[in-house]
Amino acid sequence: MTYLSDRGPAEERNLALLGFLIVVIVAAVAAIFAVFVIKGGGDGKVEAQTIREYNLEIVPADIDYGNGNVWHAWTYKLAEDAVGTVPGPTLHVNVGEKLVVNVVNKLDIVHSFHSHFSNYDMESDGSQLNTISGIGAGAMIPPGESWTYEFEPSEEGILYYHCHSADGGRHITEHIHQGLYGGIVVHDPEGPPVRDEVLFMSEIGFDTEGDSLPPYIMNGMGLPGGEHALEQVFLESGIEAVAAQFNKTVPLFESKVGEEMRFHVINIGDVIHSFHAHNVKHISMGTLNGEQWAGNLLPLVPGQADTLSLTFTKPGLWLFHCHVVAHADAGMIGVFSVAEDTAGEPSPGGQ
């Protein structure tokens, strides 16, 4: 048996060189492995996570329905926008990206940003449990303060966000129905480009003035009297007066024959609503996994959402409305303006 002390200088140099080579090889393998992981399997494409960032502000906004009827709403808006809207901005993010939402509260009571994502950290919840647990207490945002919420979506679909505060002597439902809600569309980055539109169905908030406001609204709009009232506007003042109601009291979406539209419908209200559009198949991309809703009617319990694939086959002005018909009569009506596709093919949509 040979002991270390019996080895000559040449043998010891060889052992030292061997040890050095082993260290170099291990380091090289580790480096190659690291590059392999970063580049996603050695295909040369870096897969660093994309950050999709939004800066939102919570601000007041007056929504004018005409003839002295005004809703003094609470709204989310993009920091660069002049005014807030109901619903708030639609946030878009791809599967695999990180969504970062910075929110500043410019109102005089506590508000928050609560999403319907899953698998996020407690600091991004935006609920009373942040205050109770002490984890991310600032997610319930005091007046003049800000908070950052982070999410990492793992599957495509429609989600939404809303305030979860009950500050100021108002229940959570009042904070929401005062206008503090908006949509989140999660896209499949490998999917084809498709146009996305979002429609919220709700009840109107409490802070209003005037004696002819819609109790039920879609995207913040409503026309008391519904389709009959719109017809009366036409009979009294012509088509120009009807057009003046579009995107003021009556939501309008423009499309082309053959153009697929992903129409995301959310009931943010406290009562049952339903969605029906005239003369188009209601294909459910969420709840029914590509099947058609029976009767071409999407039923929506409070808080429910679904994505409809709508492709019109005929040009024209086509109504949509809540098919709880009393709600339509109270204001929940809208119009699709569908034109012939002169180019001969659907126009691409998407972000």
The whole-number pLDDT of residue 48 equals 87
Q: What is d(CA 165, CA 161) in angstroms, rounded to the nearest whole number?
A: 13
Q: What is d(CA 329, CA 342) in angstroms, rounded to the nearest whole number?
A: 35
The whole-number pLDDT of residue 94 equals 97
Q: What is the CA radius of gyration of the chain?
A: 28
Buried b vs exposed e over 78-110: b needs ≥16 C-beta within 10 Å? eeeeeebbbbbbbbbbbbebebbbbbebebebb
Phi, psi of 17, rounded to the nearest 5 degrees: -65, -40
Within 10 angstroms of residue 231's Cβ, the number of other Cβ atoms is 12
Q: Is 332 left (phi over 0), alpha (psi -120 to 50) or beta?
A: beta
Residue with structure tokens 């119009």? Answer: 335
Angle value at C-alpha 198, between 139 and 142, nearest 5 degrees: 15
Cβ atoms of 256 and 341 closer than 8 Å:
yes
- The upper half-sphere exposure of residue 195, i.e. CA atoms within 13 Å in the direction of its Cβ, equals 16
Amino acid letter, 327: H
Residue 108's nearest CA partner among 167, 54, 42, 176 is 167
The whole-number pLDDT of residue 16 equals 54
Give the chain's domains with CATH numbers.
Answer: 51-191 (2.60.40.420), 196-339 (2.60.40.420)
Mean pLDDT by 10 residues, the chain (351 residues): 46 55 48 36 62 98 96 98 98 98 98 98 98 98 98 97 98 98 97 94 98 97 98 97 97 97 98 98 97 98 98 98 98 97 56 43
